[in-house]
A and B are shown apart, each in its own frame.
Chain A
């Protein structure tokens, strides 16, 4: 079945450094890849997404890259700030099953001031 693997499970960086989270997906029919940020006591919040016809997308300090051939996609956060500390989830979905979205297990990011 569909699966999304996410690494690392925990990431600790110094404020101002960059953070990279990597995911792989198994379903070659996946064509939409959102990233969510979840803070304590809240639901996940969409922060950026990328579609399969695009290789890279950037929004201020965050960027996502997609390698369809390798079925890899990554989240890059530059100039990290303490408020970036949260759990980040990658996800993948395709055009079947009502566009159901499969999530990775999450990466807990700590940004040390």
Chain B
């Protein structure tokens, strides 16, 4: 089975711009979560989608938004980029609505200059 794939792997944006990050979930997984991981820190929960509906959100402003598509791939959109948005963005997927561990992608490294 394929794992979680994210694109692009690296990205450099200018402050104030908008960015879209993409994720393809592991086969059979219909739940996807996005995390932000600053250098030397643990992943911080941004939001989660289950069957195309957002069903959980962390302490991130509305300029962080997402989508999940019928094939369970997903996007993370960030508007009005700030320097502090520079981080590794991780996508993670799992099957169903029960509580168990994620399969993570390798992440997108976003640098805002």
Contacts and interface: CB of A to CB of B under 8 A. Distances in A.
Interface of A: 1, 4, 6, 31-32, 34, 36, 41-46, 49, 89, 93-95, 97-106
Interface residues of B, number: 30
B33 interface: yes
Contacts of B105: 43
A103 B104 CA distance: 14
Interface stretch (B13-21, B63-71, B78-86, B94-102): B94-102
Nearest to A99: B99
Nearest to B103: A46
Nearest to B90: A43
Contacts of B41: 105-106
A46 B102 contact: yes
Interface of B: 4, 31, 33, 35, 40-45, 48, 50, 55-59, 90, 92, 97-107
Contacts of A31: 99
A98 B101 contact: no
Contacts of B59: 1
B42 A95 contact: no
A42 B3 CA distance: 12
Contacts, number: 70
Nearest to B50: A98
B101 A43 contact: no
10 contacts: A43-B4, A44-B43, A46-B102, A95-B99, A98-B48, A98-B55, A99-B48, A99-B97, A100-B45, A101-B33
B106 A41 contact: yes
A43 B92 contact: yes
A89 B43 contact: yes
A39 B27 CA distance: 23
B56 A100 contact: yes
A94 B59 CA distance: 17
A32 B100 CA distance: 7
Nearest to B101: A46
Contact of B104 (A43, A97, A99): A43
